[in-house]
Amino acid sequence: MKSSEITRYLTKAPSSPGVYFWRDEHGKPLYIGKAASLKSRLSSYRKATDPRIELMIDTSVTLDWQELDTDIEALITESQLIKRWRPKFNVALRDDKQYFFVAVTDEQFPQFILTHQAASSKIKKPIKELIGPFTEGLPLKSTLRMLRTLFPYCTCKQKHHLHCLNAHIGKCPGYCCLRQPSSKSQIAQYKKNVRAIRDILTGKRDALVRRLARQNPDIALRLLRVFQNAQINARRQTLSPRHHGALEQMTSEFGLHRTPNRIEGYDIANIQGQHATGSMVVFTDGRADNTEYRLFNIKDIEGDVPMLRHILERRLTHPEWQYPDLILVDGGKAQLNAMIKTLKTMAISIPVIALTKNDKHQGDHIFSSLDTQVRYLKDMPRQLRDLVLHIDSEAHRFAISHYRRRHRRAIAE
C-alpha cells in the first residue's frame, strides 16, 4: 500500500478509540492493533522506519477499523481478535514474554494475577486459565482495579484471622482469606464475581450486562456507569473548548445536576401513520456519535405522542445501551409529558427538554422536565443554541431519511 493510499484512509479515520486491521488481498488480517485515537495511531504509519512495519504496509491491500467506546474495550477486543486470527505480522504473539496475560488461579477462591508471560515461575499457585494475550499492561491493571470495585476478589497471599484492609474498603469479600471455613452461599457469590470479570476480559460485557439486568439491575447500571466514566475521561482529553463551553452552558441553563456528556435526541417521521419511524441520535461530549444512533419501525400506533412513548419504552429495555444524561425531544408540552410519564413508569430518572417550533417550523422555545420556565432560543448563548438545534435537526434528518427509504420500498412492492 502506498503512502497516498494511507492518506486516503486517514481522511475517514475517527479520533475515537478502537482496533484497526491491515488486510491482504483476501481480506485476511495481516496485523491487528489498538489505539486510543485511531486517526492519530494510523497517521504514524506514514512515517514508519521499522523494516517489519514497512513490509507489512507494502504487503497490505486494505486498511479498516472498528470504533469502540474506550481504550479499555479496544485492549480487550484486540486481545480476542489476535487470539482468533493470529495475524502474520503480530509476530510478538510467538514470543509470550512480550505480551500480558491474566492468570486465574485454581483454588476455592480464585485470584486474578497479571503475568508478563504465559508460563511464569513467579506464580506459586496452580493456574486454571490464562486470559490473553494483551498488548499493554497499564490499561489492563486499570481495568482489573476498576472491576474489583464492583466484583471484589481476593489478593491475599495467605490466610489470616482478621479482615484485610481491602475488605474494609470493599475490594475484597472478606471471607475468602480468613482461616475459618466459608459458607456455600459465600462461595457461590465469589464464583459469580469471578465469572463476571472473566466475561468482561474475554469480550462478553454486553451479555454480562443483560444477565445482570435480570439478576441485579443495580450492579448492571453501576457497571455501565464505570465504562461510561472511562469513556468520558478518554474523550474529554480531545474535547474542544467550543463543545465544552456549550455543555457547560447547557448545565447552567437547565439546572442539570451534572454535565450532559451523553445527550439523546428523539423524533418521529410519518404521514398519517404510514411507515412511521422513530429515531434516536446520540451526542457524546457535544459531538454527533453516529455509531450509537438507533432507528425504530413503528406499527399499529397512531399519533406522534403515543409513538414517542413507544420508542422510548423500547429504548429503555436496553440497559446495555448507556443511559443518557439528558433527553431532547422534538415537540411541545404533550411530547415532554409523554417522555416524563414513560420514565416515571419505568422508575428511571433522566431530565428531558422539548424543543418547540414556531409557525415557520423553526426552533423557538424549550420546555423542561426540571421546572416550568419557558426558555427562548433567541435568549440563549449562541454555542448552546447551535448545539440544541444541531441535535434536533440530526434526529429529524435521521428519522425522515429512513422513513423515505421505507416509503420507496413500499411503492416498489
pLDDT tens for each residue of 222-272: 888 777 666 655 554 444 555 667 888 898 899 887 788 889 999 988 765
Residue 172 CA, chain-centre distance (Å), reads 27
pLDDT of residue 206: 87
DSSP letter, residue 285: T
8-state DSSP, 273: T
Task: Using the predicted structure, report yes or no on whether residue 35 has a pLDDT greater than 80.
Answer: yes
Calpha distance 194→199 (Å, rounded): 9
Give the C-alpha separation, 413 to 404, whole Å.
14
Beta strand pairing status for 262-271 and 274-284?
Answer: antiparallel
Q: Return d(Cα 285, Cα 43) in angstroms, integer.
A: 24
CB within 8 Å of 163: residues ≥ 6 apart: 174, 178
- Alpha carbon separation from 17 to 135, 237, 293, 344 (Å, rounded): 15, 12, 18, 35
Residue 339 binned pLDDT confidence (cut-offs 50, 70, 90): very high
Higher pLDDT, 111 or 114: 111
Q: How many CB atoms lie within 10 A of CB 31?
A: 22
Q: Percentage of residues in the chain with pLDDT exceeding 70? A: 88
CA 249/CA 260 separation, integer angstroms: 10
> Could you tell me which residues are beta bridge partners of residue 363?
357
How does pLDDT run across 273-325, given as a tens digit for each residue? Answer: 566 888 999 998 888 888 789 999 888 888 889 999 999 999 998 766 778 89
**Nearest CA-CA partner of 263 in 238, 288, 243, 241:** 288
180: three-class secondary structure by DSSP: coil
Q: Percent of the chain beyond pLDDT 90?
A: 40
Contact between 22 and 31 under an 8 Å Cβ cutoff? The reply is yes
Architecture category of domain 241-412 in CATH: 2-Layer Sandwich (3.30)
pLDDT band at 409 (very low <50, low <70, confident <90, very high): low
Cβ-proximal residues to 197 (8 Å cutoff; 6+ apart), any chain: 112, 144, 147, 151, 153
Q: What is the 3-state secondary structure (H, E, C) of 20-72?
A: EEEECCCCCEEEEEEECCHHHHHHHHHHCCCHHHHHHHHHCCEEEEEECCCHH
CATH domain 3-92 topology: GIY-YIG endonuclease (3.40.1440)
Helix or strand (DSSP H, E) at 276? strand 274-284
Q: Looking at the chain, which residues constitute the CATH 3.30.420.340 domain(s)?
A: 241-412
Mean pLDDT for the stretch of residues 374-397: 92
| Range of lowest pLDDT (145-154, 286-295, 371-380) | 286-295
> Measured between alpha carbons, how far is 381 from 387 in angstroms, rounded to an integer?
10
Residue 237, pLDDT score: 47
Residue 407: is its pLDDT beyond 60? no
For the four alpha carbons of 397, 399, 401 and 407, in that order, the dihedral sign comes to negative
Element (H, E) at 168: helix 165-168
The span from the first CA to the last CA of the chain, in angstroms, equals: 44
- Between these two residues, 137 and 199, which has the higher pLDDT value? 199
CB atoms within 10 A of CB 328: 26
Q: Using a CB cutoff of 8 Å and minimum separation of 24, what contacts does 247-253 make?
A: 247/285, 247/286, 247/387, 249/380, 249/381, 249/383, 249/384, 250/326, 250/384, 250/387, 250/388, 253/375, 253/380, 253/384
**Is there a contact between 324 and 260 (Cβ–Cβ < 8 Å)?**
yes
Q: Measuring CA to CA, which residue among 204, 224, 212, 256 is closest to residue 323?
A: 224
CA distances to 309, 311, 348, 364 from 339, rounded to whole Å, are 6, 10, 11, 20
Strand partners, 360: none
What residues are paired with 375 via a beta bridge?
366
In this prediction, residues 344-350 reach a mean pLDDT of: 89
Locate CATH 3.40.1440.10 in the chain.
3-92
Categorize the per-residue pLDDT at 91 as very low, low, confident or very high, splitting at 50, 70 and 90. Answer: low
The model's pTM is 0.55
Query: What confidence score (pLDDT) does residue 410 get?
Result: 58
**Peptide bond before 133: cis, by omega within 30 degrees of 0?**
yes
Burial class (CB in 10 A: 0-12, 13-18, 19+), 245: middle
Q: Is the per-residue pLDDT at 17 higher than 80?
A: yes
Question: Residue 359 pLDDT more than 70?
Answer: yes
